[in-house]
Amino acid sequence: MSKQIPVSKEARADSPEMDALRDDHTHQVAPDLAYKRLALVNVAFYGFPTEGARWVLIDTGVFSSAGMILRAAESRFRTDARPAAIVLTHGHFDHIGCLEELAQKWDVSIFAHPLEFPFLQGEAAYPPPDPQVGGGMMAALAGFYPRGPIDVGRWLAPLPSDGSIPVMPGWKWIHTPGHTPGHISLWRPYDKALIAGDAFITTRQESAYAVITQEPEIHGPPMYYTQDWNEARWSVQKLAALEPEYIITGHGRAMAGGEMRRALQELADRFEYVAVPKRGKYVERPAGIGSGHEYASKDNAHLHSIQRK
Ligand SMILES: [Zn+2]
Ligand SMILES: [Zn+2]
């Protein structure tokens, strides 16, 4: 399968030499912004890498990666590292795998978009993934599948409606639905840094091979889980119009600079042709905001996870 929008390795945002010198198990893209690649998915760290710094964890990886997140946090922010908060781009299982464990350990607020709350307080499941699109990834992920919706309601806090993020001064959250109803991206105007979650990604997440090799490309949201392709297209157009300088996405390497911007604009322009599957359940019947299908019954979640295997 060809790449959606190819980019060269020159577009990478991190510096392997500097990362090796710091040796804190993260890839740094700005002095106070880094990410860690866990199995199949990224988490991001906001905050200067100094002892006692105030920092924030963005997304929490798959189930069983808490140890890796804690080790990276401890080497970046020193011992007993506890963040000021956790911010979620969305609640898919590969972004909330360690959420309950970490929230319990740290006892900190979890900020998310209110439209994502039903999935995070045990009220609803995501609509089942579409087995017609994507392919190989399903098998690769089988071991990480969730057993049902989680309930982290006691730590959950809504992102303020003015677009600010309480624990991240200078940042804005932007509603970027489509992949999920309450999906958000994080944007810092002064250096044009963008944390895009799964609104778009930089590797072909549907293919186990591409996930391992992480061949760089600008790619629409992971296909098998995207609920509404019209919303997803508007979200990518909104993000491309920001003309970001650096991007950290939920899957794939961080990227920076003009080539990345051109590729992102091309994805926005040609979204219909390169990112949207030719056919698929959510192409024919979008399950976006207000569709009545955006929240599935939590009672079916267990069944879905069995069907997916
Ligand atoms: Zn996702
Ligand atoms: Zn994801």
CA nearest neighbour of 81 among 50, 38, 110, 111:
50
pLDDT band of residue 309 (cuts 50, 70, 90) is: very low
Cα 227 to averaged position of ligand 1 atoms, centre (Å): 10
Look at residue 216 in the predicted model and tell me its pLDDT. 85
Cα distances (angstroms) measured from residue 178 to each of 14, 36, 175, 216: 28, 25, 10, 23
Look at residue 131 in the predicted model and tell me its pLDDT. 72
Other C-beta atoms closer than 10 Å to the C-beta of 15 total 13
The per-residue pLDDT of the chain, averaged, comes to 89
Percent of the chain whose pLDDT exceeds 70: 88
Span 85-95, average pLDDT: 95
The secondary element (H helix, E strand) that includes residue 139 is: helix 137-141
Helices (H), 186-290: 208-213, 229-241, 257-269, 271-274, 281-284
**pLDDT top residue among 253 and 80:** 253
At 175-197, the pLDDT tens digits run 999 999 999 999 999 999 999 99
Cα 29 to averaged position of ligand 2 atoms, centre (Å): 20
Cα 225 to averaged position of ligand 1 atoms, centre (Å): 7
**Both tokens assigned to 288:** 């976006």
Look at residue 288 in the predicted model and tell me its pLDDT. 97
At 45-74, the pLDDT tens digits run 999 998 888 999 999 998 889 999 999 999
Burial class of residue 260 (count of CB atoms within 10 Å of its CB; 0-12, 13-18, 19+): buried
Cα 99 to averaged position of ligand 2 atoms, centre (Å): 14
Q: Which residues of 49-76 are buried (b: 16+ CB within 10 A; e: fewer)?
A: beeeeebbbbbbbbbebbebbbebbebb
**One-letter amino acid for residue 296 of the chain:** A
Q: Is the pLDDT of residue 300 over 90?
A: no
Q: Is the pLDDT of residue 289 over 70?
A: yes
Look at residue 243 in the predicted model and tell me its pLDDT. 98
The secondary element (H helix, E strand) that includes residue 195 is: strand 193-197
Look at residue 70 in the predicted model and tell me its pLDDT. 95
Look at residue 307 in the predicted model and tell me its pLDDT. 43
Which residues are bridge partners to 125 per DSSP? Answer: 296
Could you give the CA distance from residue 100 to residue 151 in angstroms, rounded to a whole number? 8
Look at residue 64 in the predicted model and tell me its pLDDT. 86
| CATH number of the domain to which 160 belongs | 3.60.15.10
Q: Which residues of 171-205 are buried (b: 16+ CB within 10 A; e: fewer)?
A: bbbbbbbbbbbbbbbbbbeeeebbbbbbbbbbbbb
CA nearest neighbour of 7 among 232, 240, 254, 186:
254
Q: What region does 159 belong to: left with phi over 0, alpha with psi -120 to 50, or beta? A: beta
Domain of 131, in residue numbers: 5-308
At 217-249, the pLDDT tens digits run 999 999 888 999 999 999 999 999 999 999 999
- Ligand 1 is a single-atom ion; what residues have CB below 5 A from it? 92, 198
**pLDDT top residue among 146 and 62:** 62
Look at residue 262 in the predicted model and tell me its pLDDT. 98
Could you give the CA distance from residue 26 to residue 60 in angstroms, rounded to a whole number? 14
pTM metric for this prediction: 0.93
Cα 290 to averaged position of ligand 2 atoms, centre (Å): 23
Span 165-170, average pLDDT: 96
Q: Is the pLDDT of residue 137 over 70?
A: no
Q: Is the pLDDT of residue 112 over 70?
A: yes
Q: How many domains does the chain have?
A: 1
Could you give the CA distance from residue 221 to residue 240 in angstroms, rounded to a whole number? 14
Look at residue 130 in the predicted model and tell me its pLDDT. 80
Cα 96 to averaged position of ligand 2 atoms, centre (Å): 10
Cα 52 to averaged position of ligand 2 atoms, centre (Å): 30
Are the C-beta atoms of 150 and 104 separated by less than 8 Å? no
Residue 201 main-chain phi, psi, to 5 deg: -135, 175
Cα 220 to averaged position of ligand 2 atoms, centre (Å): 12
For residue 218, what are the contacts with CB-CB under 8 A and spacing of at least 6?
A: 4, 5, 7, 200, 202, 255, 260, 263, 264, 266, 267
Ligand nearest to the CA of 92: 1
**pLDDT top residue among 308 and 256:** 256
Span 85-114, average pLDDT: 96
